């Protein structure tokens, strides 16, 4: 079994919100004037991210999920956090093409565009060996993680391109696309084939977004949100619960930091919310020179 340490940067690791990514202090008003679109925004990391953008002064936050009641509860929290941040929601299954397109169009109709799209919806069923897995559940994991993420990319892309151009004219940064992946994408845990392989595919999809739309100003990141003790994460075998040591505010702040433009140079790459952002920036030249934090086949160097 691969070690997490072997797939990690040698930087300081954080497990809770800290000043450099705090939407109330360092990132205050960094989302001012921006419209944020979040799938899976009714609870856990998605909910914390919506609230963090409100704290950072977002113009509007649009959240989707399958539970209408949970969406309303999150909407109330956003309004309590910042009454100046507009908020709307709609029920949406990310695997349903028409529903995702309708949600994007509704967001644009209500708020005039999309500046940040966060594909946060995820799925994790009980793990099983491939030869003992449930085919329906195994493939549904892929539908949520790949088809669902693709839908968010596909339908938000025209508006993100518009955002990138608009903010560039103002000397600022827009057009940010956040894809929630996992450190598990880089690992081989027994019985985790559906979850970890589909998350690995998200990383590659992020690279394709950069190849296809980087010239359009799109900044796309595949991020590991840390080990957050969510209802979804509790479907892992209990042996892995010890990794669930991070608060949801950590990835939420990290996403707001990414959307501020401070890491635009790292577009198309896998990043972890646990990594200290100032130390990450210090590695910029090395990361770009050696093309790090991307999926590549390891082979022997030519002699």
Reduced 3-state DSSP string for the chain: CCCHHHHCCCCCECCCCCHHHCCCCCCCCCCECCEEEEECCCCHHHHHHHHHHHHCCECEEEEEECCHHHHHHHHHHHHHHCCCCEEEEEECCCCCHHHHHHHHHHHHHHHCCCCEEEECCCCCCCCCCHHHCCHHHHHHHHHHHHHHHHHHHHHHHHHHHHHHHHHHHCCCCCCEEEEECCHHHHCCCCCCHHHHHHHHHHHHHHHHHHHHHHHHCCEEEEEECCCECCCCHHHCCHHHHHHCCECCHHHHHHHHHHHCCCCHHHCCEEEECCECHHHHHHCHHHHHHCCCCCCCCCCCCCC
Is 199 marked active-site? yes
pLDDT value of residue 239: 75
Catalytic residue among 34, 59, 199, 219: 199
Instruction: Give average pLDDT by consecutive 10-residue segment, the chain, 303 residues.
Output: 62 97 98 98 95 98 95 96 98 97 98 98 91 96 97 98 98 98 92 95 98 98 90 73 88 98 98 98 97 88 62
Q: Which CATH class is domain 4-289?
A: alpha beta
pLDDT value of residue 5: 53
Catalytic residue among 150, 195, 219, 241: 195
Is 150 marked active-site? no
pLDDT value of residue 303: 53
pLDDT value of residue 1: 34
pLDDT value of residue 233: 73
């Amino acid at each position: 079994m691969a070690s997490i340490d072997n797939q990690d940067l040698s930087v300081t690791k954080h497990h809770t919100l800290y000043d450099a990514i705090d939407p109330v202090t360092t990132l205050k008003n960094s989302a001012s004037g921006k419209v944020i679109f979040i799938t899976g925004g009714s609870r856990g990391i998605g909910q914390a991210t919506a609230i963090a953008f409100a704290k950072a002064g977002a113009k509007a936050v649009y959240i989707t999920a399958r539970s209408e009641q949970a969406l309303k509860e999150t909407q109330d929290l956003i309004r309590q956090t910042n009454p100046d941040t507009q908020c709307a929601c709609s029920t949406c299954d990310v695997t349903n093409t028409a529903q995702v397109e309708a949600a994007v169009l509704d967001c644009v109709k209500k708020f005039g565009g999309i500046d940040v799209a966060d594909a946060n919806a995820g799925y994790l069923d009980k793990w099983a060996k491939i030869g003992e897995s449930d085919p329906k559940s195994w493939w549904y994991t892929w539908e949520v993680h790949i088809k669902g993420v693709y839908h968010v990319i596909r339908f938000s892309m025209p508006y993100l391109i518009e955002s990138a151009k608009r903010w560039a004219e103002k000397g600022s940064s827009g057009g940010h696309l956040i894809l929630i992946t996992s450190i598990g994408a880089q690992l081989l845990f027994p019985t985790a084939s559906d979850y970890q392989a589909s998350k690995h595919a998200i990383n590659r999809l992020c690279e394709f977004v950069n190849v296809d739309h980087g010239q359009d100003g799109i900044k796309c990141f595949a991020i590991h949100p840390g080990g957050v003790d969510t209802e979804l994460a509790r479907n892992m075998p209990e042996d892995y619960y010890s990794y669930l040591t991070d608060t949801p505010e950590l990835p939420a702040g990290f996403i707001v930091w990414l959307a501020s433009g401070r890491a635009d140079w790292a577009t198309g790459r896998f990043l972890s919310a646990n990594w200290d952002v100032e130390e990450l920036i210090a590695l910029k030249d090395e990361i770009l020179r050696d093309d790090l934090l991307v999926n590549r086949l390891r082979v022997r160097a030519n002699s």
